[in-house]
Amino acid sequence: MQTIFKVFVFFFMMVFWNIMMIHAQEGSSLAGNWQGTLKVSGMELRVVFHIREGADGAFTGTMDSPDQGAAGIPVSAVLQDGQQVTFEIEAIKGSFQGTLSQDGNRINGEWRQLGSRLPLELEKTNQPAEIKRPQEPRPPYPYRIEEITFPNEDAGIHLAGTLTLPDTSSPVPAVILVSGSGPQDRDETLMGHKPFWVLADYLTSRGIAVLRYDDRGIGQSEGDFKTATLTDFVNDVLAGLAYLRTRKEVDPDRIGVIGHSEGAWIAPEVAVKDGKVAFLVLLASPGVSGEELLLLQNRAILKASGFSDTFIDKQLRIQKKTFQVLKSAKSDSVARERIRALNRQFLESLSPEERERLEQQGSSEALLEARLPILVSPWFRQLLTYDSRPVLARVSCPILALNGSKDLQVPSRINLSNIERVLKESGHKNFVIKELPGLNHLFQHAETGLPNEYAKIEETFAPEALEEISTWILKLANEKRGQ
């Protein structure tokens, strides 16, 4: 009897335990914050999923990549089948698949994107990683802010932007900001940073009106970015200048252009075509042709990433052949096929170790397919052959050219020296060329200058760079007002 009682008690406890476990699993909802770390080519990238459960029991969510400055990426599907969990992120062609732990606090699985597969364990947390940007302006602002639009009549579009105006009754100097390559909003938002917002805030707080705008086809601006070329972007800036000259708060004789990276290529074109631009500020400006720049950039980034000289030479040989195809192919379809063949040739030339390291960044074939639309675009084809030096030689207004010593995208020494040489040979008298120590392509203080650092750095725009720009503009503007 005692034995039967013990068995009954044991059986009862097991049933009770199983019931408790079932209820625990039912109560361990996917809703919450899930954080983990991906290890890619020696880098650690944190990822955070914010999962919400609706009244109907359906899950929705967003994804953050704090170390890449990305936040709020929509999770297109949240699926659960027992302990198996899947998050799909269509916007970046990625997905996570894993197994939920018995206690409901961990999901052990795999991240998949563009052919690559990386282990990833997510842990539920009440304190997910946040993106810190201490320089981002906060209200109250010591100036006026207007959301505006201006027409580019030749293109038949309106561009949308923000005009910040010093709180004064006298006409003030002004600048229009021109962003770098790729689809950019008015703040030049990149890796969680808003460099143009920080720059506009700094300049306007010191008495300079600033117009920044969304690229055509981006944000609230009309038009088609995918089919646009450098020439189109030049015309957009000219339309912005025309708008600034209609504003009574702005002194029309003291309007300049600040261009960053590709925007610093566009600025001289604008100055030559417009003829009334008061000054140019060229930030990280290329001083070589597009093809030369891309080869310099690739070598510098691969070298800083620890790739061998042998691998870099192989990569650059294929890159040069790719550029030749883009310049000579009679159609996009022909160019695509030839570039695919070159990529296969490149992969076959790699050692097993080189190929393994390359594949850690994702399938080479998948990455190439993602890049092909950009490579064959009118914008990229024009960029390859573009050289700003002949245009720069025709600029007559004052120029300030700044670059960071750790810029790997537009290596400073060769580009700044070429800009200086062109200006001297053209007889230009009023220019300042300056390399700022320790700053990267975004004008942040950096360790290596590699693009994978941009998001991890809390600083958006180095104070000394902001000071150089504002001091030079105000000195010039004051001299011009006194004339």
The token duo for 108 is 């052990």
Q: What pLDDT does residue 362 have? A: 59
Owner of token pair 């997510």: 122
Across the beta sheet with 59-65, the strand order is 70-75, 59-65, 43-53, 32-40, 116-125, 106-113, 94-100, 84-89, 77-81
Question: Which residue is it, tokens 């009244």?
Answer: 55
What is residue 363's predicted lDDT score, i.e. its pLDDT? 58
User: What is the phi-psi region of residue 228: left when phi exceeds 0, alpha when psi lies from -120 to 50, beta otherwise?
Assistant: beta
pLDDT reported for residue 131: 83
Could you give the CA distance from residue 314 to residue 179 in angstroms, rounded to a whole number?
32
What distance in Å separates the CA atoms of residue 445 and residue 439, rounded to the nearest whole number? 5
Nearest of 136, 249, 268 to residue 201 by alpha carbon: 136
Which residues partner with 354 through β-bridges?
none
The residues of the chain scoring below 50 in pLDDT are 1-27
What is the residue type of 38? L
What is residue 15's predicted lDDT score, i.e. its pLDDT?
A: 40
Which of 413, 466, 380 has its CA nearest to residue 286?
413
Per DSSP, the three-state class of 463 is: helix
pLDDT of 354 reads 86
pLDDT of res. 365 = 78
